[in-house]
Chain A
Amino acid sequence: MDTIVDATLKRTETQEEIQPRMIGVAFAGKRYSVPEGLTILKALEYAGYRLIRGVGCRGGFCGACATVYRTAGDYRLKIGLACQTMIEENMYLTQIPFYPAQKATYDIVELRPTGEVFIRFYPEILRCLQCNTCRKVCPQDLDVMRYIAAAQRGEVDRVADLSFDCLQCGLCASRCPAEIAHYHVAQLGRRLYGRYRQPLAMHLTQRLAEIGEGRFDEELSSLQRMSQQEFESLYSQRDIEPEEVVPAKKED
């Protein structure tokens, strides 16, 4: 268990004496007793697992620790990220650290954001049965089926927006009866949106031209040459762009 805490802030004396309640869980069918309140990831480690797969960022961003589980007496299959989901009494689970899925290869420069692109690269999206299992299995609560429907209709903007928070954990692909790799479809949609549907930033074009002309070279060189004292003074006196919302005001 990751019990590391800041050395300056030791737990209080009484806290050391509190024994956590132990609960029973099963990993891949084998039972362990672990303290309640842990995430699935920390419970696995408490039980002695030294994980290589099924663990990644430990913060809910990488999708490496997709986990499926049931609790005793309940027929329903549940899902969660191991680093974000708390253990429950009589939970039994397995991790799905990898699931095969086909990704199309394309040259983004050659593509156009037209409706047919999705079906050209991923014709299997037309096999969608609208069972909605992909949505139910998504640990990010994304409306996966809706963005697949948008992809069928060629709506690049909606695919991009609805899928934006996707971690690419692959649980959707693992449960789809139509064998769709939803997250790859979504990736294509977002790249089309970012490259073709959002206009380029014109202020960026302007700045690149100025840099190309060497407009800042002299100022940068003079900053590099400046004595520390001069530099500190310049830094301290630099004006800070105000927040448009709240005017700065003296503290109490």
Chain B
Amino acid sequence: MPYPECMQESLNRVETTRARRLKESMLRMSLAEKQQMLEGFHPDYRAESFRALSVGANKGDRVPHELADLLEARSRIDPAAFNLDRIDYDTDVLILGGGGAGTAAALTAQEHGVQVLLATKLRWGDSNTIMAQGGIQAADKENDSPARHYLDLVGGGGFVNVSELARALVTDAPGIIRWLEQLGVMFDKEPDGTMRTVHGGGTSRKRMHSCRDYTGMEIMRVLRDEARNQGVRVLEFSPAVELLLDDSGQCAGAVLYDLETEEFFVVHAHCTVIATGGMGRLHVQGFPTTNHYGATADGIVLAYRAGASLKFMDTVQYHPTGVAYPEQILGQLVTEKVRGLGAQLINVDGEQFVNELETRDLVSAAIICECTKRNRGVMTPTGMFGVWLDTPMIDIKRGAGTTARAIPAMVRQYKRYNIDITKEPILVYPTQHYQNGGIRINERCETGIPGLYVAGEASGGVHGRNRLMGNSLLDILVYGRRSGKNAALASSRVTLGSLSLKHVEEYHRELIATGNGSERVAPLILPDYTSAVSKIRRKGAVPVG
């Protein structure tokens, strides 16, 4: 018996109501009902969790405290003393980040005949891309169109998406799928080549393409394999700690830090692409996260110091279905494809409370409402709350064996804890998943700082205030390719002056003038999950060597 005694009674109710619920479906909420639910229960609406930035291009704009702490912080290097005379690497295009966006940018830049250097914080491919399970959107079926995709994208984003970015996303989407097909990505297809597509939250057509429930991993490992075949130069365990500008304010490369030798390296680059991903590991408002270890907003910090603007940084996506039990995998992702395949969300009484295919912001708010105000959550042995995701419905609706074929990673994840998701439901609660906003770009991935481009989760605008499932894998590839192309084309035209960290000196002066950031340094690079006791033991110590 995998579930403890205290959860059994509710579990029985889920089973009792299942036959009836198979024939039922919740009505979707009107826009007014949706807004009311969001304002009441979505974490973005907790005013006390945000503060106005005191420095930089977005001075006065509110962002989560956890991010403000990093933006109102000093550099890891002393900009006045740092030696820029010795250049360690010289390249046409420098790409920061080795996930899907960075690797797509690298491949595309090399297609355009320029020299690329890709620097990544952890191993190449360690990223949120590899964790994306459910799918990638593209309007390529007969009953669908890029315009419909646009309607869903902007409607789901709260009608505030940057329209040029949204248009480019939906228009490039089919071409991205074709590119992946030709690289040898194994999409779920019918024998005649027709894509097997399903719904995601907020889609009006079934346009979610998948590779079982390893979609991101399949895409990442193919892109990385191809980039290895193409001889892309890569530096692993080498996060960027600062951007370099030249004396006329053009981006001219970056300072990298080797995590193993603890040395700093100067990279001189004609163009630089930031593809460093999001901020899940900041644990905004104390939420657990689905994100990988390195998701610490580094690129945001660097670009902001260099003068770039941010967009929608006051909005975070909480994925409705993070693991709430067992405790060991708390907060890890349960793919939305589970709901796309027909599993309903069920409260402690065995009843539905929200249509499971509403947009993520709304489903998360509804789950939080159910577990707090309505007190209809299921309590775990450690005092956490969650709601059921009724996974056995999938095989009942779609035939035995569907679950095993369509979501093998989920089956495996729970099997490790003796839970058979084809026979028993699983307990979920929202978890921090995605940075809806980011560095402001245009459809060419330009930032306003000449020579600096941004792609993927680090950028902001395309998803508005709420991203739909399957638009992130699409985003990183559309804008990864656009940034790689535009950076490659621009790199041959650029003439750089002498390297400078004056922008960091100025930022430090602004921090001091506003009474901020004397204690903190950023970027964070890696989170610290050592125990409180361990932290006490380390305190005051000077590292050996």
Contacts and interface: CB of A to CB of B under 8 A. Distances in A.
A binds B: yes
Interface of A: 1-2, 4-12, 14-15, 37-39, 42, 45-53, 55-62, 64, 84-86, 103, 105-108, 140-141, 160, 164-165, 167-168, 187, 190-196, 198-208, 211, 216, 219-220, 223-224, 228, 231-232, 234-236, 238-241, 243, 245-252
A39 B262 CA distance: 29
A165 B409 contact: yes
B288 A245 contact: no
B214 A4 contact: no
Contact of B534 (A46, A60, A61, A165): A46
Nearest to B355: A251
Contact of B194 (A8, A15, A203, A243): A203
A150 B255 CA distance: 47
A249 B20 CA distance: 11
B257 to A, nearest CB: 11
B158 to A, nearest CB: 10
Contacts of A48: 530-531, 534, 537-538
A106 B229 contact: yes
A207 B537 contact: no
A57 B147 contact: no
B184 A57 contact: no
A46 B181 contact: no
Contacts of B126: 56-57, 62, 64
Nearest to A4: B283
Nearest to B283: A4
Query: Interface centre among B195, B222, B398, by most A CB within 10 Å?
Result: B222
B159 A207 contact: no
B296 interface: no
B184 A191 contact: yes
Contacts of A42: 328, 529
A194 B408 contact: no
16 contacts: A1-B531, A2-B529, A15-B383, A52-B122, A52-B526, A57-B292, A60-B412, A85-B416, A106-B229, A165-B412, A194-B183, A200-B178, A207-B139, A216-B147, A246-B22, A249-B24
Interface in B110-155: 122-123, 125-128, 130-131, 133, 138-143, 145-148, 150-152, 154-155
Contacts of A168: 221
A47 B229 contact: no
Given A59-B131, A223-B147, A50 B382 contact: no
Q: Which of A7, A103, A191, A207 has the most CB of B within 10 A?
A: A207
Q: Which 9 A-B pairs have the closest CB atoms?
A: A199-B193, A191-B184, A235-B155, A12-B383, A48-B534, A195-B184, A194-B184, A7-B286, A57-B292
A46 B529 CA distance: 7
Contacts of B191: 199
A3 B205 CA distance: 40
Interface string B324-357: 0001111111000000001000000001100000
A45 B529 contact: yes
A11 B382 contact: yes
A44 B59 CA distance: 40
User: Which residue, B43, B204, B529, has most C-beta atoms of chain A within 10 A?
Assistant: B529
B174 A207 contact: yes
B187 A194 contact: yes
B233 interface: no
Contact of B151 (A52, A60, A62, A235): A235
A245 B398 contact: yes
A208 B127 CA distance: 30
A220 B150 contact: yes
Nearest to B393: A246
Contacts of A240: 204
B237 interface: yes
A168 to B, nearest CB: 6
A194 B186 contact: yes
A191 B328 contact: no
B263 interface: no
B183 to A, nearest CB: 7
Contact of B199 (A58, A193, A241): A241
A61 B178 contact: no
Contacts of B413: 60, 84
Contacts of B266: none
Given A61-B133, A84-B416, 18 more contacts: A1-B531, A6-B288, A9-B371, A9-B385, A10-B383, A42-B529, A46-B530, A160-B186, A164-B211, A165-B214, A191-B183, A194-B183, A201-B194, A204-B195, A206-B142, A211-B171, A232-B155, A236-B31
Given A211-B174, A219-B147, A251 B27 contact: yes
Nearest to A80: B416
Given A48-B531, A246-B397, A108 B229 contact: yes
B5 interface: no
A9 B193 contact: no
Contact of A64 (B122, B147, B528): B122
Interface string B250-285: 000000000110000000000000000000000101
Contacts of A55: 122, 293
B125 A62 contact: yes
Given A103-B228, A224-B163, A211 B292 contact: no
A196 B181 CA distance: 9
Contact of B177 (A61, A199, A204): A204
A208 B231 CA distance: 30
Interface in B154-203: 154-155, 159, 163-164, 167, 170-171, 174-175, 177-178, 181-187, 189, 191-195, 199
Most B C-beta atoms less than 10 A away, residue of A64, A204, A211, A228:
A204
B83 interface: no
Contacts of B368: 8
Interface string B229-257: 10100000100000000000000000000
